[in-house]
């Protein structure tokens, strides 16, 4: 990594770091936005004598700016950007060896489950899916070969909350690493490394990018040997983001805090409306006092995020009808951008978990509450729900 790769402007607030970390004016031109460095290779004065960059898979100035910024947001010494969230997860999982065992949440994102089960399983990585809210279950699942606990909080799509500090204490007492997928919370709402996690991963495709126009991933840690391993895999396996993708992600990160404040405010109002609607049998939003993880969420999160899930009283038929009939909420996969999205996890994002312990209730609808005018969002949802009540 280039020397100034991870400069933490200690002492600055979150928003200041989002706008300035890794983004000093260009020394040559004074440009206040980091240039998109499209070059794949960099001139060397003599063999091995260069200015920190040799070949763009190994290191790229725009990527370095993004990595420095996101590491600063997570309070991490090291940050590594990837071509997708799953590429970041894959690089972290490569730190394990055949025969190792990983404990995963029984409501992990379907793609994470598929990666661990169907890609890494045949290569010798064992896993057990348990409820990470139940530390006795984690204890039961523990094996002598357990090397990692994979946490996702809030989880996708059940919005369950895991006590990061409690899981980290348990895992560290047994010499295992704790990885937290912080995609739903973002570093603005929750900073897992400060709560005891060893590695934090993101799908930056979601809130950090924030505009549904770039796929990306990120991993951060304060553990230097671990960072060196992940960095090795980033280069050796090559799941790196292109410079334009890094630029777009960095542009999104600058407004993360203000967007998250509005996402959270709109999601709270949507969750409250859903909780009072007869078409809905259960609302899953960690900001509601009725949510089983509410107290832990209050302890470890600044606010409760922009994702809301709800179980329809009319089961799958009602869920399919609601997702089909909203107008402002667009029926689509993904989440975390400015526009509101609605989807049916059992048939869409979590179809890969069908038939597994992670299978999703077919009556569940997942909402990514955007930052449009709140009244428009409430009216849109109410009319779709009224039709199935």
List, by residue number, the catalytic residues.
57, 109, 181, 206
Strand bridging mode 177-181 / 330-331? unpaired
3-class SS at 104? strand
And the tokens for 36?
């998109």
Residue written as token pair 């203000």: 258
By C-beta, is 259 or 277 nearer to ligand PLP? 259
- Tokens standing for residue 129: 């899916």
3-state class of 79 per DSSP? strand
- Among 5-13, 18-26, 84-92, 355-363, the segment contacting ligand PLP (CB under 6 A): 84-92
212 part of the interface to ligand PLP, by CB under 6 A: no
Contact between 305 and ligand PLP by CB under 6 A: the answer reads no
Give CA–CA dist 266/372, Å, rounded.
Answer: 8
User: Which of 156/326 has CB closer to ligand PLP?
Assistant: 156
CA-CA distances (angstroms) from residue 72 to 23, 76, 205, 297?
A: 12, 6, 18, 23
Q: Bridge-partner residues for 202, per DSSP?
A: 218
Q: By CB under 6 A, is residue 203 in contact with ligand PLP?
A: yes
Is 190 a binding residue for ligand PLP by CB under 6 A? The answer is no
Give the DSSP letter of residue 360: P
Q: Among 107, 181, 198, 380, which residue interacts with ligand PLP (rule: CB under 6 A)?
A: 181
Specify the residue, 61 or 217, whose C-beta has the smaller distance to ligand PLP: 217
Residue 106 binds to ligand PLP (criterion: CB under 6 A): no
Find out whether 303 and 287 touch, Cβ atoms under 8 Å.
yes
Q: Looking at 21, 71, 86, 161, which residue binds ligand PLP (CB under 6 A)?
A: 86
**111 or 210: whose CB is closer to ligand PLP?**
111
Q: Does 217 bind ligand PLP (CB under 6 A)?
A: yes
Interaction of residue 241 with ligand PLP, rule CB under 6 A: no
**Nearest-approach distance from CB 81 to ligand PLP, in angstroms:** 12
Among 84, 106, 153, 268, binds ligand PLP (CB under 6 A): 84
CA nearest to 245, candidates 270, 219, 266, 217: 217
Q: Beta strands of the chain (E only): which ranges?
A: 78-82, 101-105, 126-130, 146-152, 177-181, 199-203, 217-221, 280-284, 307-312, 330-331, 341-343, 364-368
Question: Interface with ligand PLP by CB under 6 A: which range of 83-91, 127-135, 159-167, 292-300?
Answer: 83-91
Q: Which stretch binds ligand PLP (CB under 6 A): 60-68, 81-89, 168-176, 244-252?
A: 81-89
Out of 111, 210, 286, 363, the only residue in the binding site for ligand PLP (CB under 6 A) is 111
- Residues near 366 by Cβ (< 8 Å), separated by ≥ 6? 156, 157, 307, 308, 309, 335, 342, 343, 344, 345, 349
Per-residue contact track with ligand PLP, 140 to 179, x per CB under 6 A?
------------x---x-----------------------
Residues in contact with ligand PLP by CB under 6 A are 84-86, 109, 111-112, 152, 156, 181, 183-184, 203, 205, 215, 217
């Amino acid at each position: 990594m280039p020397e100034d790769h991870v400069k933490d402007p200690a002492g600055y607030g979150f928003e200041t770091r989002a706008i300035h970390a890794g983004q000093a004016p260009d020394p040559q031109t004074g440009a206040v936005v980091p240039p998109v460095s499209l070059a794949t290779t960099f001139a060397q004065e003599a063999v091995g004598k260069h200015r920190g960059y040799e070949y763009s898979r190994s290191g790229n100035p725009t990527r370095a700016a993004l990595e420095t910024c996101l590491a600063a947001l997570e309070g991490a010494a090291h940050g590594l950007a990837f071509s997708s969230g799953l590429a970041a997860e894959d690089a972290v999982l490569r730190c394990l060896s055949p025969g190792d065992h990983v404990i995963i949440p029984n409501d992990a994102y379907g793609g994470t489950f598929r990666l661990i089960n169907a890609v890494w399983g045949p290569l010798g990585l064992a896993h057990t899916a348990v409820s990470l809210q139940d530390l006795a279950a984690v204890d039961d699942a523990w094996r002598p070969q357990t090397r990692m606990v994979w946490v996702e909080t809030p989880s996708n799509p059940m919005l369950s909350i895991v006590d990061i500090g409690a899981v980290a204490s348990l895992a560290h007492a047994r010499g295992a690493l704790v990885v937290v997928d912080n995609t739903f919370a973002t570093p603005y709402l929750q900073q897992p490394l400060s709560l005891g996690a060893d590695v934090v991963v993101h799908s930056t495709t979601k809130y950090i990018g924030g505009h549904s126009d770039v796929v990306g991933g990120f991993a951060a840690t304060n553990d230097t040997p671990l960072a060196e391993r992940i960095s090795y895999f980033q280069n050796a396996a090559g799941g790196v983001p292109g410079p334009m993708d890094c630029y777009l992600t960095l542009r999104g990160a600058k407004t993360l805090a203000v967007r998250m404040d509005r996402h959270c405010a709109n999601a709270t109002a949507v969750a409250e409306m859903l909780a009072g609607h007869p078409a809905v049998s259960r609302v899953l939003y960690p900001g509601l006092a009725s949510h089983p993880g509410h107290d832990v969420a209050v302890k470890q999160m600044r606010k409760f995020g922009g994702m809301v899930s709800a179980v329809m009283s009319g089961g799958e038929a009602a869920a399919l009808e609601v997702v089909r009939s909203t107008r402002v909420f667009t029926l689509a996969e993904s989440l975390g951008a400015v526009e509101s999205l609605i989807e049916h996890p059992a048939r869409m994002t979590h179809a890969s978990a069908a038939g597994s312990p992670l299978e999703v209730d077919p009556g569940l609808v997942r909402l990514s509450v955007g930052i449009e005018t709140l009244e428009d969002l409430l009216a849109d949802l109410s009319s779709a729900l009224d039709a199935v009540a």
